[in-house]
Amino acid sequence: MDLSSPFKPSNTTIFHHPSLTPFPLKTHLQNLKFRKPFSPITAITNSQQEQEQLPQNSPQRLLKELSQRQKIINPNKRLPPKRFILKPPLDDAKLAQRFLNSPQLSLKQFPLLSSCLPSMKLNNADKTWVDEFLLEAKQALGYPLEPSENLSDDNPAKQFDVLLYLAFGHPHCERTNARHVRSGHSRLGFLGQYVLELAMCEFFMQRYPRESPGPMRERVYGLIGKKYLPKWVKAASLHNLIFQFDDMDKLIRKEREPPVKSVVWALFGAIYLCYGMPEVYRVLFEVFGLDPEDEECQPKLRRQLEDVDYVSAEFEGKKLSWQEPPEDALFAHPRLFRACVPPGMHRFRGNIWDYDARPQVMNTLGYPLKVKDRIPEITNARNIELGLGLQLAFLHPSKHKFEHPRFCFERLEYVGQKIQDLVMAERLLIKHIDAPGKWLQEKHRRILLNKFCGKYLREKHLHRFIIYSEEVQDSYEQNRRLRNPATTSVQQAIHGLAYTVYGKPDVRRLMFEVFDFEQTQPKAFITINKMGLLGPKHRVGILKYRSQFMLLSHFILTQSFEIYNACITRPKGHIDRHIIDVKGSYMIPQMHVRVPFQCDQDDYEVVRKVGRGKYSEVFEGINVNSNEKCVIKILKPVKKKKIKREIKILQNLCGGPNVIKLLDIVRDQHSKTPSLIFEYVNSTDFKVLYPTLTDYDIRYYIYELLKALDYCHSQGIMHRDVKPHNVMIDHELRKLRLIDWGLAEFYHPGKEYNVRVASRYFKGPELLVDLQDYDYSLDMWSLGCMFAGMIFRKEPFFYGHDNQDQLVKIARVLGTDELNAYLNKYQLELEPQLEALVGRHSRKPWSKFMNADNQHLVSPEAIDFLDKLLRYDHQDRLTAKEAMLELEPQLEALVGRHSRKPWSKFMNADNQHLVSPEAIDFLDKLLRYDHQDRLTAKEAMSHPYFMQVRAAENSRMRTQ
């Protein structure tokens, strides 16, 4: 089959199944031309045959005619610079041959993709997708319309259904409440993985031309070459697959919705994959009318692709064999992998795929393969595949300044994906060995049975591929329990391999025989855990959520491989406050055990994971006794002082306005590490909620947040991590709670604190210039960043790529003159490199950030309030109390003054038989502002309104 470029005229015949097209036929019929002379008789004959074969207005005929007509050049159109006009570097014939000659593939050979499958079966995961949009998507992609249920499992068309679901499936569905495994990772905005999935769809389409004629590459590039891309997306109903709003034209026109942008980025990634950066520039210029040299031109995409291109050129310059895979490799094109290489990775010593240490990892894992295929190139291809798998598996994100699109997900701590990556490497090895799995299983068994596994990892220098630190050796010697999170992730991955190869019993054995170096556990405890590692409720959880077993195993492993089976309950209100010793270390009040330890171990059940942090993991849970929802925050075994500090702060703030309520503390009997039980808030994701808020909503919620900040500041506590992720809002109940007090600290005037607090986008200037004696005003800066993002509809407002770039972004808005005055006031100096990056900038007026989308939110009062929060000098910012006084008259003006309405105003002909004097009196005593004036449940039951009900109940009891 011949695949022609979409950017040059072609008269290649395209055979395909019915598909949709948004382009009108009649406007182009008169402009149809042919590239070379031909016989009129032959043309008439061919035209008659085509008309007989293809019905008029059929999709086949439309696409055929579109593929034959030449592109109409507008004489007034601005031409791009000559350096951007380049032909595609790849030969279509060779490209097609490469796809067609690739080995037989199935979904089972892609563990990375299969690990992304929904947690439920496809036919039950999202009925909205399956019932309404799947056929339309198939039509739009020129795909057979036969239902998936009628296809066999080995049919590639059925596999393509799954890939379509992965590429375009929206993770949230109001109809079924189905959740996608990766929905918590904002996957639609992840360019590298999105390109991978679209490329895999393209691969299947071109690998099996009989089942799916009309190559997707031809369709996608033909469409992106037009200005009808938004129209096509809407006509094909693809907008329903990525975002459920009807007014798609407005969203695309304003280019403000990340999911819509991600589709454009993915298409650019596909172009870059096959044609390179010059073609991306050409499409940016010709199709979207953007100048690639302009810094404002698709900055994220442009920076992403340029960094990838730069890294690729550096690797290619060294002529590394693993960067030039043969044509039948699993990752068929090297650009596909390079799209996932961290930008700027070559600039740091932290490149874990270090050329000096890389052979040691290969040797440890039996790599490269010793057994040769009949064709040597195939063996090389397998080695390259394994190399790429290892590259993905052992990237550590947190030790250097560069950022990968996946780094914000803390991917190494995401156990399921980590295990799938290593299993992928294992399967690739097993697949191409004469005795499948035998030697590899024996090798892993020897490693896992070795009680000196930590020493083994150290001798093989595997820790260098996980964490780069000069203190790694010391941490191994001083702490044999390997508490370092990155090192722990290796243990988790090894347990994952054991679970995959040997099953759950072997994992249980390994957890206590191999990794429990401190042989101090009581014999009874070891015996109990060998017989059943998990409590009854956790065993039910594993059976119920088998696909999430690794999630629960992560919960076990991160707690020094011990189970939280001690539920110690305290009486309500029994809290000893203000216990601080002379040295400033915080002491936890004693927890009084109400019942024996064995009786309370099942008080709480884990339902699902809802979040994660650097020092904890958060689960939605349920109290078995009361059947009430709660939130369980499982703290990782970090410094005891930090855990004690968080508990002490939460106890000090107990009962404060809009502060999350600490309901209980559950201790493990052996590790003494607590888990915190909080009230449950049915919050909405801020990325979904904030764009829907009105002016009054924003003022209301900022005022509610100020109540919490004012209270904690009055108690001598700084939160130090104010951001949208830590502000839970139940919009239906209009309830706000400030959560995550793990970084909070008691304030002492003049004391120097750690500047490595707060999230990057919400860090105050004092943290970025290393001013350690900061105070409560740090929280006010973070609040100002939140407020700016809400009113300007720009989240985050200051978007820096690292701490230095964060200061640069602030200086571009607030100017450098005030920054220099701030530095001089506190006798601070910037590093020469940072000073060069900051440069000189004038202050931007806040009105520059106003546009048609946010002008209804940006009032003069809002700008004045924001200006008093976002100031370099922390002493000039508003306090929480002052900020509340600023907002109070604005809220009052919006709400207005109203007199009380009598209840009789709500009576009408339909309800007057229900509105008795007793009912009005009962209602009046319930609906009162002051909660202390409302009836209690006991008082409400004795109200005259229920007199007849009580009389009937007494009569029935006497009868019985």
**DSSP H helices in 213-298:** 216-224, 229-235, 238-242, 248-254, 258-275, 277-286
Helix-helix angle 191-207:258-275, to 10 degrees = 60
Residue 838 CB neighbours (<10 A) = 19
Cα(80)–Cα(313) distance, integer angstroms: 25
- CA-nearest of 930, 941, 905, 932 to 920 is 905
| Residue 76: how many other CB atoms lie within 10 Å | 4
Q: Is 633 annotated as contributing to ligand binding?
A: yes
Alpha-helix runs per DSSP H in 107-210 = 111-114, 122-125, 127-128, 134-140, 156-168, 191-207
Closest CA to 719 of 751, 689, 753: 753
Q: How far are the Cα atoms of 204, 418, 428, 666, 928 from residue 200, in angstroms, in the given order?
A: 6, 21, 18, 47, 61
**What is the CA angle 112-113-114, rounded to 5?**
95
Tokens linked to 709: 């900040």
User: Which CA distances in Å does 637 have to 641, 712, 943?
Assistant: 11, 26, 53
Q: pLDDT tens digits for 438-466? A: 444 444 444 433 433 444 333 333 333 33
Question: What residues contact 470, with CB distance under 8 A and at least 6 apart?
Answer: none
Rounded CA-CA distance 263/191 in Å is 9
- According to the model, what pLDDT value does residue 317 have? 43
- Placement of tokens 């291809």 in the chain: 381
- Nearest Cα neighbor of 736 from 683, 685, 661, 783 is 683
CB 545: neighbour CB atoms within 10 A? 16
* The two three-digit tokens of residue 380, written as one number: 């090389």
C-alpha 373/C-alpha 763 separation (Å) is: 56
For tokens 């010697």, what's the residue? 477
By residue count, the chain amounts to 960
The tokens of 569 are what? 């309950």
User: SS3 of 717, please?
Assistant: strand
DSSP state string for 871-887? -SSGGGSPPHHHHHHHH
Pairing of strands 727-730, 717-718: unpaired
Q: Which two tokens stand for residue 410?
A: 């803390």
Where do the domains of the chain lie? Answer: 1-16+24-73, 92-293, 342-518, 520-680, 686-895, 903-959
> What residues are paired with 727 via a beta bridge?
738
In what helix (H) or strand (E) does residue 421 lie, and over which residues does it extend? helix 415-431
The Cβ of residue 353 has, within 10 Å, a number of other Cβ atoms equal to 17
Instruction: Write b or e for each residue in 490-504: b if 16 or more Cβ atoms lie within 10 A of its Cβ, otherwise e.
Output: bbbbbbbbbbbbbee
Q: Does domain 520-680 fall into CATH 3.40.470.10? A: no
Residue found under tokens 């607090």:
757
Query: What share of residues in the chain are helix, strand, coil (percent, to 5)?
Result: 50, 5, 45
Q: Which residue shows structure tokens 């929802």?
A: 629
pLDDT attached to residue 872: 94
Largest Cα–Cα distance in the chain?
Answer: 106
pLDDT, residue 2, reads: 34
Report the distance separating Cα 199 and Cα 216, nearest Å. 10
Which pTM does this prediction carry?
Answer: 0.40
Nearest alpha-carbon partner for 354 in 389, 401, 386, 395: 395
Active site residues: 721
Is the Cα dihedral 720, 721, 722, 727 positive or negative?
A: negative
Name the CATH architecture for the domain at 686-895.
Orthogonal Bundle (1.10)
Predicted local distance difference test score (pLDDT) of residue 36:
40
Amino acid residing at 121: K
Cβ 559 vs Cβ 638: under 8 Å:
no
CA-wise closest residue to 7 among 382, 266, 271: 271
State whether the Cα torsion 215-220-225-226 is positive or negative: positive
- List the one residue out of 645, 862, 866, 608 whose CA is nearest residue 742: 645
The crossing angle, in degrees rounded to 10, of helices 549-557 and 485-502 is: 140
Low-confidence ranges of the chain (pLDDT < 70): 1-602, 638, 668-673, 892-898, 960
Under 8 Å between Cβ of 617 and 634 = yes
CA distance 569 to 553: 25
| Nearest-angstrom CA–CA distance, 944 and 939 | 10
Which helix (H) or strand (E) segment holds residue 106: the answer is none
Reading the block at residue 293, the tokens are 């040299």
Please tell me the distance from the alpha carbon of residue 155 to that of residue 208, in angstroms, as a whole number. Answer: 10
Residue 276 DSSP code = -
Tokens for 416, please give them.
Answer: 């399921």
What is the predicted pLDDT for the residue at 941? 86
